[in-house]
Amino acid sequence: MGVVAGVDSSTQSCKVELRDLDDGSLLGRGSAPHPPAFAPCSEQSPVDWWTAFERAFGIAVTAAGIAADDVTALSVAAQCHGLVALADDDSVIRPAKLWNDTTSAPQLNHLRESIGEQAWIAAVGSLPTAAFTLSKIAWLREVEPAAFDRLARICLPHDWLTRELTGAHVTDRSEASGTGYYSTARGRYLLEYLQLIDPNTEWANAVPRVLGPDDAAGTASTVAARRLGVRPEALVGAGGGDQHAAALGLAVEPGDVVYSIGTSGVVYTVSPDPVFDRTGTVDGVADMAGGYLPLVSTLNAARVTDWAQGILGVDHAGASTMALAAEFGRAPVLAAFFDGERKPNRPDATATLGALTAATTREDIARAAFEGVLMGLVRGQHSMNSAGVATDGRVVITGGGSRSPAYRQILADLTGREVTVADPVDADEATARGAAIQAAAVATGGAVIDVRRAWAPRSHVVAEPAAHSEDTRRELFERYMRVADWDGLDVTSRSSTSGPFARSNGPSPT
């Protein structure tokens, strides 16, 4: 029996799934935590990622009742955008700056001025925020010049873990497309953007080689890999970003729209063609199957409802029950920018709770927290529609928030559509499942897209919209837009009274 391993190294933890190579059935799982990290200065040591990977892998092997050397291929998916700076001897120069670290906002603004917002969107398919890697490199050059002087190689989190397994300095299209200095449409790095930071660095030697979705990064032949107990000839896939791997794991097809509720919130779909949103709201990044993954990602998601639980003195179940007891359309409106925000690009923003009345109840506050998270993502779906991306297929909810009855039902209420989840066994592990799909393709010499379809999980409806009128949905969305100060403001920070969220467009995505 062949076994493949899929790895999900997220902000919070490392999860490993072991699956049967023949049919994709789950054999065992393991998980180990990462040290907590919070915006605005969000950092972790890459060594802690590896330690968690070893622990999670060992737990999964034990749970599966196999030997570690039964694993024939592995693939690593991880949190996107973060900067791992390596010296010439491959040592880590400083803790990795994570995607939700917003301290590079000043450097990001300078780069926007130097490159030009529309030129940047046209080049890479996204208008980068402080989450993107390029701004973090600029931060290192300006704030820690001694560390920058030692910089020899640039890795993203998944690149570094893959390097620890194989010794290869490689990445994939999905991760490269989220750096701010790689054009997926042209298939090349934009080294001229890196030269804006420092014209004397040999950037061509610093960036990793970009692999295709079906390529192997190498074999698990390093000293570090031997600590896992895997065979040295075990193949290692190119890997990818966490949401990109989740799209594989969920077998997302064009038209499907996925709402992912975790530390961050993400709404995305897949597209065979590149997407260029001139407003800068939609990131037109690549996927892990040779196509594209238009998405909108927010900084503030599950932590918002965790906050509500704290102030209301209830647990997850209690907050969900309270939120569902509130009347739709009556709750106050929460612009949930607790830790700043990336879409809209407001790294220094704070949250605003508006439309309070003397009749506001604890239940209304609970519902406002869930709606505040989801409204920002519903707006993201609108933006994808305005950029020409279809989202008329399934509405899928995933991530830790997918277990919450309130997130499920309120998403159905806000969109006016049925909400589905993957098979409950797989719903929370879509990223690790997607990485395992890539590992299986590498192990068999097949195509990722073919394994994705063969391993597609079952799905079922978990929420249907209540009988609310479109006028009620529209009015609620307009209140959110006013409280969030979206009216007349697009993500490129230029004043405009038109665009995809002019009020005439209404709140209900199509």
Active-site annotation, residues: 242
DSSP state of 70: G
Q: Which of 373, 396, 452, 8 lies closest to 213, judged by CA?
A: 452
Let me know: does 17 contact 70? Beta carbons within 8 Å.
no
Q: Is 248 helix (H, G, I), strand (E, B) or coil?
A: helix
Rounded Cα gap, residues 19 and 26, in angstroms: 5
Tell whether omega for the bond before 344 is within 30 degrees of 0, i.e. cis.
yes
Q: Which of 370, 376, 434, 375 lies closest to 402, judged by CA?
A: 370
Rounded Cα gap, residues 170 and 238, in angstroms: 7
Rounded Cα gap, residues 398 and 231, in angstroms: 33
DSSP string of 385-436? HHTT----S-EEEESGGGG-HHHHHHHHHHHTS-EEEE-TTTGGGHHHHHHH
The number of CA neighbours under 13 Å toward the Cβ of 120 is 27
Rounded Cα gap, residues 242 and 390, in angstroms: 22
DSSP string of 274-326? ----TTS-SEEEE-SSSSEEEEEEES-SHHHHHHHHHHHT--HHHHHHHHHHS
Let me know: does 135 contact 193? Beta carbons within 8 Å.
no
Q: Which of 393, 435, 334 lies closest to 5, judged by CA?
A: 435
The number of CA neighbours under 13 Å toward the Cβ of 143 is 13
List phi, psi (to 5°) of 250.
Answer: -90, 0
Q: Is 63 helix (H, G, I), strand (E, B) or coil?
A: helix
Residue spans of alpha helices (H) in 155-301: 157-166, 173-176, 191-197, 203-206, 223-228, 242-249
Rounded Cα gap, residues 94 and 97, in angstroms: 9
Both tokens of 427, joined, read: 């719903």
Rounded Cα gap, residues 338 and 347, in angstroms: 10
Say which residue the tokens 């130097």 belong to: 114
